[in-house]
Structures are given as C-alpha cells and as structure tokens.
Amino acid sequence: MKFTASCAELSDLKADSLILPTGSELSNSAKVVNKLTLNSIDSAIENGEFKGKSGQVLALNLPQSPFKRVILLGTDGLSNQRQIKKAVMTACQALNKTNAKTVLWVGGLLTDNIEAEASIVAQSSNASLYNYKKHNAKKSPNLESLTFWNAEQSAIQSADTGLKFGAAVGEGMNVAKQLGNLPANICTPSYLAEQAIKIAKTKLDKASITTEILDRADMQKLKMDSLLSVAEGSDEPPKLIVINYQGTDANTKPVVLVGKAVTFDSGGISLKPGRGMDEMKYDMCGGASVLGVMNALAQLQLPINVVGIIPATENMPNGRATKPGDVVTSMSGQTIEILNTDAEGRLILCDSLTYAAKFEPDTVIDIATLTGAVISALGKVASGVLSNDQQLANDLIESGTQSADPVWQLPLWEEYDELLKSNFADMANIGGPQAGTITAGCFLARYTKDYKWAHLDVAGTAWVSGGNKGATGRPVPLLMEYLRQKAK
C-alpha cells in the first residue's frame, strides 16, 4: 500500500473515500470538508446520526460530492494514544468493508504531534489489511493508497516520516500475525528458520542482514542442554535462529532481541488440558515478533545494530521426553531441576540469554508468551515487563505509551527469587503456585547478570481468543518505538 503526505487544497485532491476525524464541534478542516460535501456533516450532526463521540464511525455515501464516500470518526473524549489507535483502527476496518481503492485522511487527531498521528494512521491501515493467507477464501481489501492531508506545509515532512515508520511497523505486525496464525504442522522450527533466511535476502542500501541457523549438533557443542531438553520429546528438529541487522558501525554494541518460539506447546509430560490446546500454536509469538521487527528494520534501515535470537522447538511427550524431576545443565553451567515440563519457555530462553552475551550487547530484551499468570494479573491489555535495569524498564514503559502497546512493570525482588530453591540443583524451573510471572522473571534474571536486560511476558497480548481468534502482532509496535528512540 502506498502512503503520501499532502498540503494541497482539499478540492484538488482525488480519492474514492475521505476519512474525517471530528467532534460535534467542527474544526476548520472539517468545515472545509463540510462545504465540499454540500453540508453533509452538518446534516448528520443535526439529525442525530453523528454525535462525534470517541470512536464513533459513520459512513456517508455522497454521489454528488467530490468524495463519493466520507467516513466520519468521532473524536470527542479521545484522551490517550491507546484510544486514538483504537479509533483509527475502527475507521480503517470500516473502510475495508467498502470497495475503496484510494483514501484521503484529513489530519487533526494530534495537532501537537503530526508525525505520531501519521504513524498511527499508516500502521493501523496496514495492520487492518491483514487477511490470513492460507485456508481462507476471503477477498483481500482493495485499498491501494492513502494520502495524509494537513493544511500546513511545515507539517508535511513530519507526516511523511510518520507514514514511513508506521507503514513498516504495520507490515512487521502482519508478518508476526501470519506466522502466529499458521498451524503448527506448517510453522515448524525449520519453517521459521526459512522465513528468517528470506528476510535476510532483502536488498538494503544502508544496512545489511545476515542469518545463521544452528541445529541440534551445534547446540550440543555449545552445551545448550536446557534448550535441548525441551526438544527431546519431538520429532521436529530444534533450531536456534540468529538474524543480525547491521544498520550502523560494526563497533556499535547491538540491541539483542531473544524471542521464544515453541511452535507447539503440548506441555510435554506435564500435559496441558485438551480444551484450548489448539491455541498453543501461538507459543512462538515471541519469535514471530522478532521476525516482524527485522522485517520493519529492513524497510526503514534505522541506524542501529540489532541481533535477533530465536530458540525454536516443539514441546511434545514421547518416550525420550524430559520428565518432572529430571535435572539438566544449562549452557551457563547452572543446573536446573525440571519440576514441570510445561514451564519450558524459560528453559529455552536461559540458554539463548547466555548465548546473547557473545554479541557484547548494549541491551538484551527477551519476548515470550511465558506464563498464564500474567493474564491473571494484566489481562489482555498490557504485557508484563521485568528488568534488572530501571532505566531500561522506564524506556520500555515510555515506548509502550507512545506506541499504544503498553507494558506494566513487575518486581524482581529476592523474596521471589528464593521460591526457586531446589534440593537437587541450583534452581527449580518453577517457584510454586504464587507470583508465577515474577518467579519466571527471577529464573531468567539468573542468566543475565552481565548486561542490561528486560523480559516481556506477552502471553496475554500476543493473541486473542474467541470469535476473533488470531495473533495480534504485539509487541512489534513497542519494540520498534524503543529501537527508533535508541537509533536517534
């Protein structure tokens, strides 16, 4: 989809449809549109069809006006980025139900931050175009281009910057959604490795992307016995995917993103209940988000170095599978008593976090659908964040606010860490029934003492259930906003 910014006279612009954010009191831009459309907006307000309330959408078919369709988006009461992003997505979804090919967006939602508004519009437009690409006969939306309009010439450069960033983030979200939605018999560890290699083949002018795929033998040489213990019960070979984006000087320390990719999680010997187990194909959404970020970086070519590490495996029960009570030795040399084989994500992450140190990172962030406990704590609204560096946590919280992809911080106190004690190893892989998200973070923190690290638990936000079941593409917006700020 093509995005452009313009400050030309509205009457000179051509589009199938126009989207106008407005409240019940018309802005100067809304008054211009009202005049061009024969006072149709005044009429909709006067007859009660449109009240201008937060997120309200009304489509007006106006065959006699320059814009054959005007979609009004209510703005009264919109007070934060999350509400604005939700409203914009609602308008985009309404537009996609039409046969429009070109659309004109009248700016004005964020008069003090045109770049942010344009970014939200482009991201939401691209994200709303997503259709599952296999086993789905739905026709893709016809939309081909969007022009973001602002009356001020001085705002166009900011709008153009925002459009480029938002479009790349939206496409990155769609990459993550597609990988998450694929069935586990297609999206295997080997398939994820193939997708990483495809992204690395992108031709870049100012940056480069390379991949390295480590197989079982490579991981055995590295003594990644914790990661490999999870793969023991599966016939699918595990992969450690390393994708390296270099956007600036090679001596600049990278941000390392570690994405959990359990392509199907049965729970292993600690078998999960059958109800809802189909959704365990989403247990690789952390790894999918890393690939989504890499796809966005390839488009934007931000001046930053980023390494993606994706431990990919299935967690299945068979005669070789790890058993509760088994003890394994991690790459770091620390031993782990596996009390529950369904607490497998931390077992593949800990070796990956140890491996991350070889890149001499500036920062390490792991992303994982790690615990059901985070859903109990935060629901489907915010991801959990735990960190050994408060400034890093603050930066992620701020990036979450700006990207409308929020996170909430949980503590890493020693009282929680003590719950991981084991009589037979350096630690147990679970800490009991209480504070499950925190004790999982405490487990990972034992492998990250040599660098700044944060853990994102996205079990509540990476996908939704029910009638709209599907991957969300989160936390690609959060991570891209964080990297954008780091690249400045």
Query: What is the arithmetic mean of pLDDT over 456-475?
Result: 97
Q: What percentage of the chain exceeds 70 in pLDDT?
A: 98
- Average predicted confidence (pLDDT) for the chain: 95
Mind giving me the DSSP string for 326-372? EEEE-TTS-EEEES-TT--HHHHHHHHHHHHGGG--SEEEEEE---T
Q: Look at residues 89, 87, 206, 110 and name the one whose alpha carbon lies nearest to residue 158.
A: 110
* In a domain? residue 177: no
Beta bridge partners of 20: 72
Asked if 278 and 349 sit in the same domain, the reply is yes
* pLDDT, greater one: 133 or 347: 347
* In a domain? residue 175: no
Tokens of 54: 């937060």
Which whole-number Å values give the CA distances from 98 to 16, 58, 224, in the listed order?
10, 13, 52
d(Cα 435, Cα 440) in Å, to the nearest integer? 9
d(Cα 195, Cα 199) in Å, to the nearest integer? 6
Asked if 47 and 93 sit in the same domain, the reply is yes
Asked if 155 and 186 sit in the same domain, the reply is no
For the four alpha carbons of 30, 34, 40 and 45, in that order, the dihedral sign comes to positive
Domain containing residue 155: CATH number:
3.40.220.10
State which residues form the domain around 383. Answer: 182-487
Give the chain's largest Cα–Cα span: 80
Tokens of 136: 């789905």
pLDDT of 135 over the 80 cut = no
Instruction: Please tell me whether the overall predicted TM-score, pTM, comes out greater than 0.75 for this model.
Output: yes
Asked if 321 and 367 sit in the same domain, the reply is yes
Asked if 240 and 278 sit in the same domain, the reply is yes
Which of 112, 138, 169 corresponds to the end of one domain? Answer: 169
Query: What is the arithmetic mean of pLDDT over 227-255?
Result: 98
Of 82, 86, 216, 272, the active-site residue reads 272
Q: What is the pLDDT of residue 110?
A: 87
* In a domain? residue 14: yes
98-102, 135-139, 308-312: least confidently modelled range: 135-139
pLDDT digits (tens, 9 = 90+) for 381-424: 999 999 999 999 999 999 999 999 999 999 999 999 999 999 99
d(Cα 37, Cα 69) in Å, to the nearest integer? 10
Query: What is the arithmetic mean of pLDDT over 211-220?
Result: 98
pLDDT band at 66 (very low <50, low <70, confident <90, very high): confident
Which of 115, 146, 169 corresponds to the end of one domain? Answer: 169
Q: Look at residues 465, 254, 451, 480 and name the one whose alpha carbon lies nearest to residue 367.
A: 480
* In a domain? residue 322: yes
Q: Look at residues 150, 100, 108 and name the one whose alpha carbon lies nearest to residue 125.
A: 100
Beta bridge partners of 3: 146
Instruction: Specify the pairing of strand 17-22 against strand 102-106.
Output: parallel
* In a domain? residue 128: yes
For 365, counting Cβ atoms within 10 Å of its Cβ (0-12 exposed, 13-18 middle, 19+ buried), the class is buried
Asked if 279 and 344 sit in the same domain, the reply is yes
Domain containing residue 402: CATH number:
3.40.630.10
d(Cα 6, Cα 170) in Å, to the nearest integer? 21
Q: What is the pLDDT of residue 140?
A: 59
Give catalytic status of residue 346 as yes or no: yes
Q: Virtual CA dihedral for 107, 109, 114, 118, nearest 10 degrees?
A: -70
Q: What is the pLDDT of residue 141?
A: 67
pLDDT band at 64 (very low <50, low <70, confident <90, very high): confident
Which of 144, 169, 194 corresponds to the end of one domain? Answer: 169
Query: What is the arithmetic mean of pLDDT over 138-156?
Result: 86
Of 239, 260, 281, 346, the active-site residue reads 346
* In a domain? residue 144: yes
168 touches 300 (CB < 8 A): yes
Relative orientation angle of helices 285-300 and 189-200, to the nearest 10 degrees: 10
pLDDT of 455 over the 70 cut = yes
pLDDT of 132 over the 60 cut = yes
Per-residue burial over 454-486, b = 16 or more CB atoms within 10 Å of its CB, e = otherwise? bbbbbbbbbbeeeeeebbbbbbbbbbbbbbbeb
* In a domain? residue 386: yes
Asked if 407 and 267 sit in the same domain, the reply is yes
Asked if 118 and 190 sit in the same domain, the reply is no
Tokens of 239: 């992969």
Q: Is 149 helix (H, G, I), strand (E, B) or coil?
A: strand
DSSP 172: H
Asked if 319 and 186 sit in the same domain, the reply is yes
Beta bridge partners of 327: 337
d(Cα 263, Cα 390) in Å, to the nearest integer? 32
Asked if 218 and 130 sit in the same domain, the reply is no
Give catalytic status of residue 272 as yes or no: yes
Asked if 217 and 158 sit in the same domain, the reply is no
Asked if 380 and 259 sit in the same domain, the reply is yes
Q: What is the pLDDT of residue 137?
A: 41
* In a domain? residue 383: yes
Domain total for the chain? Answer: 2
